[in-house]
Structure 1
Amino acid sequence: MKYGTSAGKHITRILIANRGEIACRVMRTAKRMGVQSVAVYSEVDRNSMHVDMADKAYCIGPAPAQQSYLSMEKIIHVAKISAAQAIHPGYGFLSENTEFAELCKQEGIIFIGPPSSAIRDMGIKSTSKSIMAAAGVPVVDGYHGVDQSDRWLQEQAGRIGYPVLVKAVRGAGGKGMRIVSSEKEFQEKLESARREAKKSFNDDAVLIEKFLDRPRHVEVQVFGDHHGNVVHLFERDCSVQRRHQKIIEEAPGPGIEPEVRSKLGEAAVRAAKAVNYVGAGTVEFIMDSKHNFYFMEMNTRLQVEHPVTEMITGTDLVEWQLRIAAGEKIPLSQEEITLQGHAFEARIYAEDPENSFMPGAGPLVHLSTPQADLSTRIETGVRQGDNVSVHYDPMIAKLVVWGADRQAALRKLRSGLHQYNIVGLHTNIDFLLSLSGHPMFEAGHVHTDFISQYHSELFPTQKATAKESLCQAALGLILKEKAVTDAFRLQTSDQFSPFASSSGRRLNICYTRNMTLKDGKNDVAIAVTYNQDGSYSMQIEDKTFRVLGDLYSEGDSTFLKCSVDGVASHTQLVILENTIYLFSTEGRVQIDIPVPQYLSLVDTGGNQGGAIAPMTGTIEKVFVKPGDKVKAGDTLMVMIAMKMEHSIKAPKDGTIKKVFYKEGSQASRHDSLLEFEEEESEKRES
């Protein structure tokens, strides 16, 4: 099917200049519309999901984005040789790049996005603030000028009054953004913001604006067409964030009255019209406790969180993008766009919330998800067995749910999170469950400082695993062991081999055996008695449980049907190397199987006198050299990995002895970065 106008803008094939879940998302709509998809991929993405989904796919270079997904010339070349009439940039990468939009136009390729002038005006925050103020859109007090000297910027911060926000003028996704609480830390935060801005956007210019304490982040979805029409599709609340990046989004905003909603929409439409906007865009506002709102920035692309807007309006925004890019009018008038129900999106990341949300990478050894339906969407670009690459964003998926009201949607979200099970790397799923179940979140009292305000409640002290769950883990291990020995018995002709017995009599085990499992750092002794009726008696400390059950399979997953003292449960079971994982609607449990000491690696503790890499990445900056004296907390190095800047700081006072990495070199996780000697006074005191 062709989409276009009498002017001849027919789109039958598009190139998606992106990867991961957004590339897959665009392809699904394109396929439904009868439009062919062309994928581009880096060498490390050769076997990725978006490559398999595409009608055609072309390799465009090595893993680093600068040599592949950010290479405009390579992408344009593929568009030409594949005969794609249009390019969809997704989000990130080249989606808000003025030069790329211009290059597409010069080459006669439709850029599925706004005109380059709108990208330019809205991409430079200082320019966008001036345009918005002239259009009657409220803006936050700040400095958006051309004088970028350190002294002048510090003076402006003092004039505005601390705390202030230092932001890259071309920033997005929290990149190049730092909160500065006092004059004392201004210079360090300014330099850090500039480095990240230069790395991410090739422009280290910044602006300074007043930082509002615990505001809400509320944004409005807008759409414009080539015929001068602009509409909004209501607001989303994206207040709950970590590292200035969104983690849970919802639509509509909780507690926002119809009058405020109307004013938000009108302001967003004025903003879009001020720059002759075409296509999908998002006008972001910062909102105070009294629901006064101020323009923050405009994202001139499709947002990560666009599915929640689709869920409450019954629209397909990617289809709108393709139709509008081909010259058609917006499918619905403002009056025809209605709001129904409530939707949430939870971003599932490969990261460790217990370790400052440190991003991770590695294989998805086990992956099972809730069933997708009309009220549940799984937006992902990975499958079981795929790798989350260190080279790109650590987002694994987006879980999107809809309900008739906020409470119904929230119940659906929590149910979906309980069914999202991943083994192989750290994820934020348990944290998302903790967050979505917090009373203040349930009440809709959200703001951008939510996680830090309720940190102790969102990260409670780890409790000992319930003895009933330990019994389930032990039973799962025994039944897996039985399955293995049963399989061995079928394959061997020696029926009397001690390895072919699963009755509890194998080797020196006769009816009773002692097991040891590891709950966190604690060893748990379990005395297991094999009963004649096929049940087991399991003694943990001074209590004995009667346990029985079986394993069964559904698809590629194994489940444990278990009864502990007459209480039945159904639990998904995964045993990987020396760890037992139990997934159920009650939560998830991880129990380790202790490794005999003679098999374990010896920990030399050699890193106690230095600093180790918290993740695999590039050494961006080295601030010290051998012989330098440092104080505890001094920044020694800066690493960049998975789009995140991480400062390596001195744990104690001391002297730098060796520096193992130069700027620009790659370091692997747990590598020793440098070695230093503690001060003698520190050694004596310890």
Structure 2
Amino acid sequence: MSAFNCILVANRGEIACRILRTVRDLGYRSVAVYSAADGDSRHLQLADESLCIGPAQVNQSYLNIPAIIDAAKRTGADAIHPGYGFLSENAEFAEACAQANICFIGPSVNAIRLMGSKRLSKIAMLAAGVPCIPGYEGAAQDDDTLSSQAQAIGYPVMIKASAGGGGRGMRLVSEPSELLPQLRSARSEALAAFGSDELILEKALLRPRHVEVQVFGDQQGNLVHLGERDCSVQRRHQKVIEEAPCPVMTTELRQRMCEAALKAAASVDYCGAGTVEFMLDERGSFYFLEMNTRLQVEHPVTEMLTGVDLVAWQIRVAQGQTLPLQQAQIALQGHAIEVRLYAEDATRGFLPQTGQIRCWQPADLPGVRIDHGLQQGQTISPFYDPLLAKLIAHGNCREAARLKLIRALEQSVLLGVVANQRFLINLLHSTAFTSGEATTALVTELFAADPSLLPQRPSSNELAIAAALLYQHSAQRFTMAGWSNSASLPSRYLLEHAGEVYAVYISQKAPATPGLLQACVDDQRLELKLPDLDQPQCWIELEAVRYPLAYRVDGDQLWLKGDNGSLALRNVSQRPANTAQSSDSGNLYAPMDGAIVSILASEGEQVCRGQLLMVMEAMKMEHQLKAGCDGVIASVAVSAGQQVRHRQRLVEISP
């Protein structure tokens, strides 16, 4: 095949930005596509051209095959890189590209179709002699068959969407009474996410390691591996931390596992980047889990360990060129760890978050790479996965990489949207991770009581700084309006955070010293020196110690980089006293922007606290909404399929 002239990237967010970087570096012309919700996204600025391919909903934009093929034709793109997710493992899309004489930068249609089905791929791997977890991968999908098969396998069992990934359509079932409800839930989520509700069952391995092998093939039949990655730290079967090499890997185990991965790839004549995933038990036995026929989210870990640009390799082999390195030439050096920065609130059950990015300043540290698709002013919508960025650190040993990554998380500033920074930092500090003993059970069994998962009261220091900043901005507005006097002192500020209101008193330090204030929080007195807001780098002095300051103020709303990440505070000082506290009663409100999937209660029905009332879909996941009190449904304000906004009232409950 001749060299490409123009490559269209059929994706969004951080992976689109990452691919576009290599496309540009290799000298190709590039095209980005976007939905109506992504008109302010960073990846559009990195491409030579961009086209809108439809509305915000993924099935009308990023999953719209005719629209993407049409965009490639209109811009003269002769190749399409699908990234990960969306259409990256869609055989019909690869076929459509071939029919349009456009190169699909990925494996063959046959490999995608086979490995895209957990059921069919497991049958093929058993035939190829690759070790697999005992389970059921038959064609019969009725409840009776699955129930009898689960009984034969023995509980606990794992339900998995055959076409799935990212933890969607996956359920752990501990006893027979749980099976049917979990089957219904898994089918529903799988159908919405992947267009197929086909399931498989497997014997549940409760405390395994999740270890995967990066493989790469070319059209000449050459196959190599680039070592393994340990992806054991997960939440709801979604990877949170990935590292390489695996902390418990031995030379003998690596050889056996990588040989099995190459055997799996060879059985389907694999070409391009692929990942063979295994479960590794405490005895050192491993079992085939699935093969991802695309670039992985965690591919930067391997790139930092090997010095290889995997996207450049993908483009190279798609043009018919041979792999640039043979197996003996691939060396693993040092240690690399990656974390995923998500727009989610760990203190509220990891509820996805939406909003506008008020400030984004990724850390700039040696040995640290940050892949992201963010820019200031961008809106994080409810339509897509909540992944915001990936932070990857490389060091000459595991401990060096771990410390660098913690520092990068602490120094990166994200304001406007709640993210999981503190959760990631605490995970990296945990004894289980530090010792290299983390399994897939780490988050659920050993981390459940971590402070990052519990609502945190703003510290006295944070409240004092917030009140001082609001005072300074108030004084600045007086000056700009032509008043000769500043905001009056002493001043009382009522600051609302997560429904709670905190009082802070600001006064001039006696004797009066320009720029010096005193804050009183819960009978604690703190001395502050206000920052110079005209300077590009803001610092504030608190109790004679200088701190770098990252914040944004918009009206009565203030976002502050605090001890636990982004802290959102609202100035409610002007509210009437009897309305300063929240009074939501037992009514049900939307916890985020999203769409109502189903309604399970009707007007006049008597309900009890904790009863499931609705199922809501946001950021590609289903969320159960439950009653907050005992009572009677007075009204249901929404219907199934309706898009709703954060804090919109859904159900009125009369206690």
* Class of the TM-score when normalised by the shorter of the 2 chains: over 0.9
Matched, 1:169 2:165: no
**CA 1:169/1:551 → structure 2, altered by over 3 Å: closer, same or farther?**
same
d(CA) in 2 for partners of 1:546, 1:383: 35
Q: CA deviation at 1:206?
A: 0.3
Match of 2:643 in 1: 666
Match of 2:532 in 1: 551
Q: Answer whether contact 1:13 1:35 (CA < 8 A) is retained.
A: yes
Q: Answer whether contact 2:242 2:338 (CA < 8 A) is retained.
A: yes
Q: CA deviation at 1:597?
A: 2.1
d(CA) in 2 for partners of 1:54, 1:444: 40
- TM-score after normalising by structure 1: 0.89
d(CA) in 1 for partners of 2:40, 2:462: 38
**CA 1:530/1:589 → structure 2, altered by over 3 Å: closer, same or farther?**
farther
Matching residue within 619, 625, 633 for 2:596? 619
Match of 1:572 in 2: 550
Two-structure CA RMSD over aligned residues (Å): 2.6
d(CA) in 2 for partners of 1:166, 1:238: 20
Which segment is superposed worse, 128-137 or 163-172? 128-137
Match of 2:411 in 1: 419
Matching residue within 129, 136, 143 for 2:129? 136
Q: Answer whether contact 1:531 1:537 (CA < 8 A) is retained.
A: no
Residue identity matched to 2:646: R
Matched, 1:531 2:511: yes
Matching residue within 317, 336, 343 for 1:350? 343
Q: CA deviation at 1:219?
A: 1.1
Residue identity matched to 1:200: A
Matching residue within 402, 406, 412 for 1:410? 402
d(CA) in 2 for partners of 1:634, 1:470: 37
Match of 2:378 in 1: 386
d(CA) in 2 for partners of 1:531, 1:570: 27
d(CA) in 2 for partners of 1:97, 1:25: 21
Q: CA deviation at 1:484?
A: 4.7
**SS state of the match for residue 650, structure 2?**
strand
Q: Answer whether contact 2:153 2:203 (CA < 8 A) is retained.
A: yes
Structure 2: gaps spanning 5 or more residues: none
**SS state of the match for residue 549, structure 2?**
strand
Match of 1:500 in 2: 484
The equivalences for 1:349-368 within 5 A come to 349-368=342-361
Structure 1: gaps spanning 5 or more residues: 1-7, 493-498, 679-686
Residue identity matched to 2:384: Y
Residue identity matched to 2:398: R
Q: CA deviation at 1:516?
A: 3.7
**CA 1:622/1:537 → structure 2, altered by over 3 Å: closer, same or farther?**
closer
d(CA) in 1 for partners of 2:569, 2:9: 42
Residue identity matched to 2:589: I
**CA 1:37/1:517 → structure 2, altered by over 3 Å: closer, same or farther?**
same
Encode CA deviations 1:453-472: one digit per residue, 9 max, x unaligned: 22102537666655555554
Matched, 1:597 2:597: no
Matching residue within 85, 100, 106 for 2:99? 106
Matched, 1:562 2:541: yes
d(CA) in 2 for partners of 1:543, 1:605: 29
d(CA) in 2 for partners of 1:429, 1:660: 35
Which segment is superposed worse, 456-465 or 345-354? 456-465
d(CA) in 2 for partners of 1:236, 1:438: 20
d(CA) in 1 for partners of 2:108, 2:54: 28
Q: CA deviation at 1:57?
A: 1.3
Q: CA deviation at 1:626?
A: 3.4
Q: Answer whether contact 2:212 2:230 (CA < 8 A) is retained.
A: yes
**SS state of the match for residue 323, structure 1?**
helix
Q: CA deviation at 1:172?
A: 0.9
Q: Count the aligned residue pairs.
A: 650
Encode CA deviations 1:596-632: one digit per residue, 9 max, x unaligned: 2239968884652x43222222222233333445555
Residue identity matched to 2:45: D
d(CA) in 2 for partners of 1:589, 1:628: 39
Match of 1:12 in 2: 5
**CA 1:442/1:551 → structure 2, altered by over 3 Å: closer, same or farther?**
farther
Match of 1:73 in 2: 66
d(CA) in 2 for partners of 1:590, 1:615: 16
Q: Answer whether contact 2:492 2:503 (CA < 8 A) is retained.
A: no
Match of 2:36 in 1: 43
Q: Answer whether contact 1:618 1:639 (CA < 8 A) is retained.
A: yes
Residue identity matched to 2:619: M
Percent pairwise identity: 43
- TM-score after normalising by structure 2: 0.93
d(CA) in 1 for partners of 2:517, 2:448: 41
Q: CA deviation at 1:80?
A: 1.7
Q: Answer whether contact 1:311 1:343 (CA < 8 A) is retained.
A: yes
**CA 1:670/1:593 → structure 2, altered by over 3 Å: closer, same or farther?**
closer
Q: CA deviation at 1:535?
A: 5.9
**SS state of the match for residue 455, structure 1?**
coil
Q: CA deviation at 1:255?
A: 2.6
Q: CA deviation at 1:479?
A: 4.5
Residue identity matched to 1:54: A
Match of 2:626 in 1: 649
Q: Answer whether contact 1:352 1:358 (CA < 8 A) is retained.
A: yes
Q: Answer whether contact 2:5 2:78 (CA < 8 A) is retained.
A: yes
Q: CA deviation at 1:48?
A: 1.9
Q: Answer whether contact 2:15 2:84 (CA < 8 A) is retained.
A: yes
Q: CA deviation at 1:576?
A: 4.2
Encode CA deviations 1:616-665: one digit per residue, 9 max, x unaligned: 22222233333445555443322111101112234455554433333222
Matched, 1:446 2:446: no
Matched, 1:279 2:258: no
d(CA) in 2 for partners of 1:588, 1:668: 22
**CA 1:562/1:628 → structure 2, altered by over 3 Å: closer, same or farther?**
closer
Which segment is superposed worse, 392-401 or 164-173? 392-401
Residue identity matched to 1:536: L
Matched, 1:82 2:66: no
Encode CA deviations 1:478-530: one digit per residue, 9 max, x unaligned: 54455555555xxx4xxxxxx3235xxx65x4xxx244454853434454425
